[in-house]
């Protein structure tokens, strides 16, 4: 069976972090976000098709570096064609029924059960569903008693919010769906294809466990915290934590990182080779090779790779771009530093 990974978006809502890397390669608990999707694939998936546009060389290098026995076919999209256009662009590679994943999803969904459900229902497509509190950022569906989708509405507003069952961005689609997507133009699966395919027979598959879209800086941070809550503390054997460091679990610390004093946690992820001299860190992600000085406070923030945060800085609810050097004692509150 084949799977398509929709990983070609620009990742604008994750700027400034996506200026220097494509969204699927952002490190989530120290490994690329997209690797969580690959973990979900059952053995029956032997080929993965990846239409890429933004930073396609980086994406190609990543998929070429994988040696897990699957065949990865990376197809360049000259211009981003939207979620539907991207599928049409790789349609020559696709046969039978196939899986589709939005590239910014982290979830515990059991894909084998999704495939079984799809084949049992015999529709043209099955959409995985997750209940959300605020559906405005998602596509929503209405279901009949047989789990058949009777309505699909992308990014509903006001009175359009008739359900809290959101499209989880994971589908099984039959090849026939591709016939209804025009080639070589920008097409949205969610706005233009699903609302029409409802007539042909789309089904909704709910599941338990966890699901999160990591497409914004806020969601990325909460996904990081959620995964730590779920999987617990993970401190590399090759990390050094000083005796006086106060730990509040869960925390994740990458190889070669060194924390000599202060308070770390809860829900703090340090990348590789991070150096923390003496700081209070909570609910934050600090990426590889960043240096944090003494008397620093970092709360609910993301700091990119190779940054320098000197003594007495305070960073709250903020995002700092890669390679950024703050001034001593600088205060950064509710800001994205390094936006272009």
Q: Which residues bind ligand GDD (CB under 6 A)?
A: 6-9, 23, 51, 53, 77, 80-83, 86, 102-105, 138-139, 154, 166-167, 169, 190, 213, 215
191/331 with CB nearer Mg ion: 191
- When CB distances are held under 5 to 8 angstroms depending on the partner's kind, the choice from Mg ion, ligand GDD, none that residue 190 binds is ligand GDD
- Please, what's the b/e burial string for 51-68 (b: 16 or more CB within 10 A of its CB; e: otherwise)? bbbbbbeebbebbeeeee
**Strand 97-102 relative to strand 165-174, pairing:** antiparallel
Residue 37 or residue 253: which is nearer to ligand GDD going by CB?
37
Residue 233 C-beta: closest distance to ligand GDD, Å: 28
Q: Do the bridges between strand 234-235 and strand 47-52 make them parallel or antiparallel, or are there none, so unpaired?
A: unpaired
Three-state DSSP class for 118? helix
Q: How far is the CB of 108 from Mg ion (least distance, A)?
A: 18
Distance in angstroms (rounded) separating the CA atoms of residues 300 and 118:
40
| CA-closest candidate to residue 173, choices 39, 324, 14, 3 | 3
Give the total of residues touching Mg ion (CB under 5 A): 3
Query: Phi-psi category of 11—alpha, beta or left, where left has phi over 0 and alpha has psi -120 to 50?
Result: left
34's contact among ligand GDD, Mg ion, none, with CB below 5 to 8 A by partner kind, is none
Smallest distance, ligand GDD to C-beta of residue 216, A: 8
How many C-beta atoms surround the C-beta of residue 255 within 10 A? Answer: 13
Give whichever of 23 and 272 is closer to Mg ion, judged by the CB atom.
Answer: 23
Q: How far apart are CA 314 and CA 264, in angstroms?
A: 15
Stretch that binds Mg ion, among 107-115, 210-218, 258-266, 291-299 (CB under 5 A): 210-218
**Residue 215 binds to Mg ion (criterion: CB under 5 A):** yes
State the minimum distance, in angstroms, from the CB of residue 110 to ligand GDD. 18
Q: Identify residues 243-262 at the interface with Mg ion (CB under 5 A).
A: none
With respect to ligand GDD, which residue has the nearer C-beta, 309 or 319? Answer: 319
For Mg ion, the closer CB: 147 or 154: 154
Please provide the DSSP assignment of 143-191 as one string.
Answer: E-TTSBEEEEEES--GGG----EEEEEEEEEEGGGGGGS-TTS---III
Selected from 97, 104, 190, 322, the binder of Mg ion by CB under 5 A is: 104
């Amino acid at each position: 069976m084949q799977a398509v990974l929709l990983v070609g978006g620009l990742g604008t809502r994750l700027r400034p972090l996506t200026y220097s890397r494509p969204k699927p390669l952002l490190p989530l608990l120290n490994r690329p976000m997209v690797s969580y999707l690959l973990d979900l694939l059952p053995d029956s998936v032997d080929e993965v098709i990846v239409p890429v546009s933004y930073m396609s060389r980086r994406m190609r290098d990543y998929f070429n570096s994988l040696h897990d026995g699957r065949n990865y076919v990376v197809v360049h999209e000259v211009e981003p064609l939207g979620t539907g256009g991207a599928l049409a662009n790789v349609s020559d590679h696709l046969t039978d029924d196939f899986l589709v994943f939005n590239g910014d999803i982290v979830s515990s969904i059991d894909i084998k059960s999704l495939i079984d459900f799809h084949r049992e229902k015999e529709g043209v497509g099955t959409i995985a569903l997750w209940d959300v509190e605020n559906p405005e950022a998602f596509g929503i569906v209405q279901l009949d008693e047989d789990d058949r989708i009777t309505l699909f509405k992308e990014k509903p507003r006001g009175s359009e919010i008739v359900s809290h069952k959101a499209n989880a961005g994971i589908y099984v689609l039959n090849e026939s769906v591709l016939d209804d997507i025009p080639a070589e133009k920008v097409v949205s699966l969610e706005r233009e294809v699903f609302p029409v395919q409802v007539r042909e027979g789309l089904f909704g598959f709910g599941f338990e466990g966890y699901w999160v879209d990591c497409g914004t800086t806020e969601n990325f941070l909460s996904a990081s915290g959620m995964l730590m809550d779920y999987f617990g503390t993970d401190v590399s054997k090759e990390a050094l934590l000083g005796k006086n460091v106060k730990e509040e679990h869960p925390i994740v610390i990458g190889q070669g990182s060194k924390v000599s004093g202060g308070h770390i946690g809860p829900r703090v992820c340090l990348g590789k080779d991070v150096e923390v001299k003496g700081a209070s860190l909570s609910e934050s992600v600090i990426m590889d090779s960043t240096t944090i000085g003494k008397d620093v406070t970092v709360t609910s923030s993301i700091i990119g790779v190779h940054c320098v945060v000197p003594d007495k800085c305070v960073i709250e609810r903020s995002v700092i771009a890669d390679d950024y050097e703050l001034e001593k004692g600088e205060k950064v509150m509710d800001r994205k530093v390094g936006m272009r």
